[in-house]
Amino acid sequence: MERQIDVEIRELKDLILAMGCCVEKSIEEATQALILREPDRFKKVYELEKTINEHHILVDEACVRILARQSPLAADLRWIVATIKINTDLERMGDQAVNISHNGERYLTEPALKPLIDLPRMASEVRQMVRSCLDAFVRKDLALAEQVLQQDDVVDQLKNEILDELKAFMARDPQSISRALNLILIARNLERLGDHATNIAEDVIYALTGKDIRHGHS
């Protein structure tokens, strides 16, 4: 027979998954709006943020309720503690999609600064990381969580290259400063999304193994 705590943890997992879907959709809309120059898509990001914020509160409430009623231990307790943290990261990923949208809206008021450099590739890498950390969480897939940690290095490298190229752009053509700066800020937003996905992967590893691998600790 299924334990009551298993039922509640399953419901909590569904809630996090629904929230994760909104976050993925939100990042997709924000980055595609920018790449395809379709500013209407930014509106969807602002709508999705509301749903993400509602889930943020619901997930925390559910975690506290399970802790109070079920006094979970060992793997169950680790899972709840990891979920509290994953919830925070997902909410802040929603904020970053909103930041991309604000910077993107400003960027799209002016003619395209071509090329978009490697931003589309960076966006694609980050979206892959977000998908993988959520999949690792759902499938309890340790290897996939560890893979996310590697991908973060690629994203950081791309960000550095993009920053250098955009700085050179600004120096060559002062007319491009405002647009290049918006793209720099967007690259930073994407980098932070990658950091949040990394945090989630670390939390999944902790939930599955009990090992805290942050800061090179084990």
Instruction: List residues near a copy of itself by CB under 8 A.
Output: 53-54, 56-57, 60-61, 63-64, 67-68, 71, 73-74, 77-78, 81, 84-85, 88, 167, 170-171, 174, 177-178, 181, 184-185, 188, 212, 214-215, 217
Considering the complex, state which of residue 38 and residue 164 has its C-beta at the smaller distance from a copy of itself: 164
Spatial neighbors of 198 by CB under 8 A, at least 6 apart, are 129, 133, 148, 149, 152
Nearest to 186 by CA among 158, 152, 147, 149: 158
Whether 154 and 87 have beta carbons less than 8 Å apart is answered as no
The answer to whether 70 and 56 have CB atoms below 8 angstroms apart is: no
Letter string b/e over residues 147-170, b meaning 16 or more CB atoms within 10 A of that residue's CB = bbbebbebbeebbeebbebbeebb
- The nearer residue to a copy of itself, 36 or 177, going by C-beta atoms, is 177
Peptide bond into 120 cis (omega under 30): no
Query: What's the rounded Cα separation, in Å, for the pair 50 and 45?
Result: 9
Q: In this structure, are residues 194 and 152 in contact, taking their beta carbons and an 8 Å threshold? A: yes
